[in-house]
A and B are shown apart, each in its own frame.
Chain A
Amino acid sequence: MSSYLYYPGCSMEGSGRSYRESLEGVLEPLGISLEEIDDWNCCGATEYVSLSTTPAYAMIARNLAIAAGEKKNGEALVAACSACYLNLAKADHYMGEQPALNARVNDALGAGGLHYDPGTLKVRHLLEVILTDVGLDKVRAAVKKPLTGLKVAPYLGCMVPRPDVDGAYADHEQPKSLDMLLKALGAEVVDYPLRTECCGGHMNQIAPKVGLELVRRLVSEAERLEAVMMVTVCPMCQINIDAYQGEMNAMFHTHHKMPIVFFTQLMGVAFGLEPKKLGIGREYTNASKTLAKALKAAPELALAAAGAAPAHRPRPDKRALPMPRMADSEVEE
């Protein structure tokens, strides 16, 4: 069982509570454990860095210093919220890159009896940990109820693949990491071109016309591709798409009803856990019914997919010229 230091972030306690609940549920099947760092504070989101640089980085670095003091057998600090992950990763990165920033931040930390040397920890996002350390094979092996028949739009959002201070992503615009994970759960994953487009961040609060237009684009594109649900890795994306959908509908005179859930929630469902324990039902735009309806047809579909009979394939026209045929394994991807 691999163990990681864990920074939850404020959203996981409140608006993104279902993320936390579902994450707690899937840890055991995944064979990982998370140790929450003691008395962590808010990372400041994108607000503090817009207000004052040194205090903003000192506030983030307090968490890094506490985590570094608690590190025992690992150096990885894992965050599930995209904004928290990026703030922690950027603080570590910029303190290493800018000696002046490092000196100021550590001077400030010193006032609280703390110190952090950049590079001590490796800040990682939960999704990357699951893909790299746990691996898709283990995920597939834990699946008890494949999500066959559930057509989802994988919505990764901005701050995990970009700016990517540690170079974890080869593709910053159309990475397929979330797609791969959802496919491993048996879901049907639409090729969602807006997978890393912005949800609006705090724009719904300060400039609703700008923010809600972004929500509209994301939701209507998912709907156009006939996805019944969007899947996210970020509490900010979740609340923007979920809770602001009503206001967006009112502004654009649309009638969208697109549920959005956390990827950990779908993992939990596929692992056979109780939906209620995964926080399903906490969404403002209800996902339970969509989920139940899509998975109702699942047993037969799952049997057909796993069964010995090869999938249906149209017979070649006898009058057609002989064409080379791809092996079944190649057709898959």
Chain B
Amino acid sequence: MVVAQVSPPVVADAGARFLAEVTSKTAGVSRLEMCIQCGSCGGSCPSASAMDHTPRAIFALIRAGKRDEVLRSNTPWMCLSCYHCVVRCPQEIEITDVMYAIKTIAEKEHAYPSNVGPDFGGVFIGQAKRFGRSWDLGLTARHYLRHFPLRLPGMTPMAFGLFRHGRIGLLPTRIRQRKQLHAILKRADELERAR
């Protein structure tokens, strides 16, 4: 009997490559390759209705090698980090961390669907890196002026209330050893880029 020579399917290659990329970018062990497409994740997700794709669909797209579609989906940006899907996943996939991993790839390539989420994170982290602490007033002022100027009038009483109750400081708090922190983060950035 002659067995036909079957070459590995080309489509699966792109899928395997992207799966490996996401898995390697996940902080812990993602177990993403174990997904059985049961959909428990989307069914457990409080923000699924606002997502372009449910998490299950995202994982199917990853396996299909649809890299652009995944990076341009709003799904990871709508993830709340509530970990409901993680504790319900029968395959114990670290879904939240996979969402973070997709976001880090999208951030690097500026491939995200909207810049609101990335900007918020960018400003938050820019200040946290600079001062060593987060700075609520600087963050919210910059973020709302840029992305939600129309929400500002409605938010004035809230900002005033927080200020009156001593819950928001005018100036940022700084840690002492900022040089040490900056040296650590500089090296970490180099290592991340070399991956």
Contact surface of A with B, Cβ cutoff 8 Å: 10, 13-18, 39-42, 44-55, 57-59, 62, 90, 93-94, 97-98, 101, 104-105, 107-114, 158-159, 162-164, 172-173, 197-198, 200-203, 205-210, 214, 243-244, 246-247, 250, 281-284
With A58-B187, A94-B28, A214-B47 known, 20 other A-B pairs at CB within 8 A are: A10-B133, A39-B132, A49-B27, A52-B107, A52-B189, A53-B25, A55-B185, A55-B189, A58-B188, A90-B27, A108-B187, A112-B183, A159-B82, A162-B87, A198-B80, A206-B120, A207-B50, A208-B151, A209-B50, A210-B47
- B155: chain A residues at CB < 8 Å are 247
> Which among A111, A113, A201 has the greatest number of chain B C-beta atoms within 10 A?
A111
Q: Enumerate 17 A-B pairs (CB-CB under 8 Å) in ascending A order.
A: A15-B168, A39-B176, A49-B27, A50-B104, A51-B125, A53-B192, A54-B192, A97-B28, A101-B27, A111-B183, A112-B180, A158-B81, A207-B77, A210-B78, A247-B154, A282-B166, A284-B158
**A198 and B168 alpha carbons, distance in the complex (Å):** 24
Instruction: Establish whether residues A50 and B100, one from each chain, have CB atoms under 8 Å apart when the complex forms.
Output: yes
Interface string of B118-152 (1 = CB under 8 A from A): 10111011001100111010001001000110010
Bound together, the chains give a CA A54 to CA B25 distance in angstroms of: 10
Specify the chain A residue showing the minimal Cβ separation from B96: A163
Q: In the complex, what residues of B have CB within 8 A of residue A104's CB?
A: 188, 191-192
- Number of residues on chain B facing chain A (CB within 8 A): 71
Our count of residue pairs bridging A and B at CB distance below 8 angstroms stands at 216
Contacts of A44 in B (CB 8 A): 125, 128
Q: Determine the residue in chain A with the shortest Cβ distance to B46.
A: A198
Q: Are A110 and B168 in contact (CB under 8 A)?
A: no
Q: Does B5 contact A (CB under 8 A)?
A: no
Q: Are A47 and B125 in contact (CB under 8 A)?
A: yes
**Residue in B76, B158, B167 whose CB lies within 8 Å of A14:** B167
- The answer to whether B27 touches A58, judged by C-beta atoms less than 8 angstroms apart, is no
Q: Which residues of A contact B191 (CB under 8 A)?
A: 54, 104, 107-108
A39 contacts B175, CB within 8 Å?
A: yes
Closest to A250 in B: B154
B184 touching A284 by the CB < 8 A rule?
Answer: no
**Counting CB contacts under 8 A, is B181 at the interface?**
yes
CB distance from B146 to the nearest CB of A (A): 11
Q: Which residues of A contact B187 (CB under 8 A)?
A: 58, 107-108, 110-111
Known: A42-B134, A53-B27. A47 touches B121 (CB 8 A): yes
Within 8 A of A (CB), among B163-184: 165-169, 173, 175-177, 180-181, 183-184
Contact of A45 among B25, B124, B162, B165 (CB under 8 A): B124
Contact yes or no, B162 A198, CB < 8 A: no
Cα-based distance from A103 to B133 in the complex (angstroms): 25
Given that A39-B175, A44-B125, A51-B125 are known contacts, is A59 also in contact with B184, CB under 8 Å in the complex? yes
Given contacts A15-B162, A51-B104, A111-B184, contact A41 B132 (CB under 8 A): yes
Q: Mark B64-90, 1 if CB is under 8 A from A, else 0.
A: 000000000000111011111011000
Which of B27, B103, B181 counts the most A-chain CB atoms under 10 A from its CB? Answer: B27
Assess whether A54 is in contact with B188, with CB atoms less than 8 Å apart.
yes
- Measured between beta carbons, the chain B residues less than 8 angstroms from A41 are 128, 132-133, 175, 181
Bound complex: CA A101 to CA B29 (Å): 11
Asked if B104 and A201 make an inter-chain contact with CB atoms under 8 angstroms apart, the answer reads: no
Closest to A165 in B: B28
User: Which of B133, B154, B165, B167 is packed against the most chain A CB atoms within 10 Å?
Assistant: B167
Give the distance in Å from the alpha carbon of A90 to the alpha carbon of B162 in the complex: 31
Asked if B39 lies at the interface with its beta carbon under 8 angstroms from chain A, I say no
Q: How far is the CA of A48 from the CA of B132 in the complex (A)?
A: 13
B157 in contact (CB, < 8 A): yes
Instruction: Name the contact of A283 in the complex, choosing from B76, B129, B165 (C-beta under 8 A).
Output: B165
The one of B77, B117, B128 in contact with A42, judged by C-beta atoms closer than 8 angstroms, is: B128
| Residue among A16, A90, A206 with most chain B CB within 10 A | A206
Q: In the complex, what residues of A have CB within 8 A of residue B76's CB? A: 50
Complex Cα distance, B181 from A84, in Å, reads 18
A162 near B125 with CB under 8 A, answer: no
| Complex alpha-carbon distance, A58 and B192, angstroms | 11
- Residue B19 CB within 8 A of the other chain: no
Knowing A14-B167, A284-B165, the reply to whether A206 touches B116 (Cβ < 8 A) is yes
Q: Nearest Cβ distance between residue A133 and chain B, in whole angstroms?
A: 25
Give B179's nearest chain A residue, CB to CB. Answer: A112
